[in-house]
Amino acid sequence: MIGPGRPQIVLFGSSIVQLSFSNDGWGAILADVYARKADIVLRGYYGWNSRRAIKVLDQVFPKDAAIQPSLIIVYFGGNDSMGPHSSGLGPHVPLPEYIENMRKIVTHLKGLSDTTRLIFLSCPPVDEVKLSENTSSIFSELVRTNELCRTYSEACVELCNEMGVKVIDLWTAFQKRDDWMTACFTDGVHLSGEGSKIVVAEILKVLKEAEWKPSLFWKSMPTEFSEDSPYDLVYTDGKTTLNPSDWTFHREIQWD
């Protein structure tokens, strides 16, 4: 562990999490937004469903860890929602089992510490046309529909509301854009930069509005080593320096 110690924000989920540092992804954006404020820790697993996730909870999130995350953002459901394969193999998880698996995840993560906060992400929609065009012939009986995503998304939202956990309805959030099908995905499922911007905006909205103590909204968190220094760039008066610790002008979007 390197110091100084910062709050940890863990991203836990399937490929939408694993790929969140690719293609101007939402994990990379959060890492930039929280630079010098919190460490973004990636625990994403391509192709995983909730059934696999519950088997590693104790390894990824040990309850006896000396330091627990300040925030965990969880996404599972896209692979669970895929149609069942005739062989019985594949990522499909029946809806009732998915709900119980997600309940187990919530319960385990809630038990890590009194100050560990949770945000769950529900299934975003999919672009079925682009998905069919980009699906490799090496896959067998690949069934992924927007209607299945809706069903699992609604189940996730309902469960989180029942258990008092913050949840973001991505299925609805994406479709607020008229061009969501063409703009938000790289292959019909995984997120483009535009899709990731929606995820970031929704996460920051939750963090800004949450009444958590301490706040995990980036503007409310201290910046590491932010004191003024004579080694900073010199102002036009030739006598004072400019502290760049909280400069954000490099960002394409000035996040709020």
By annotation, the residues acting in catalysis are 14, 187, 190
- Distance, in Å, from the CA atom of 193 to the CA atom of 76, rounded to the nearest integer, reads 20
Whole-number Å distance between alpha carbons of 20 and 36: 20
Cα-Cα end-to-end distance for the chain: 30
- Supply the Cα-derived Rg of the chain in whole angstroms: 20
Q: For residue 228, with 0-12 CB atoms within 10 Å meaning exposed, 13-18 middle and 19 or more buried, which class applies?
A: exposed
Instruction: Check residue 235 and report its DSSP letter.
Output: P
**Integer Cα distance of 22 and 29 in angstroms:** 10
Per DSSP, the three-state class of 85 is: coil
- In DSSP terms, which residues pair with 233 in a beta bridge? 242
- Phi, psi (5° rounding) for residue 85? -90, 145
**Beta pairing partners, 117:** 71
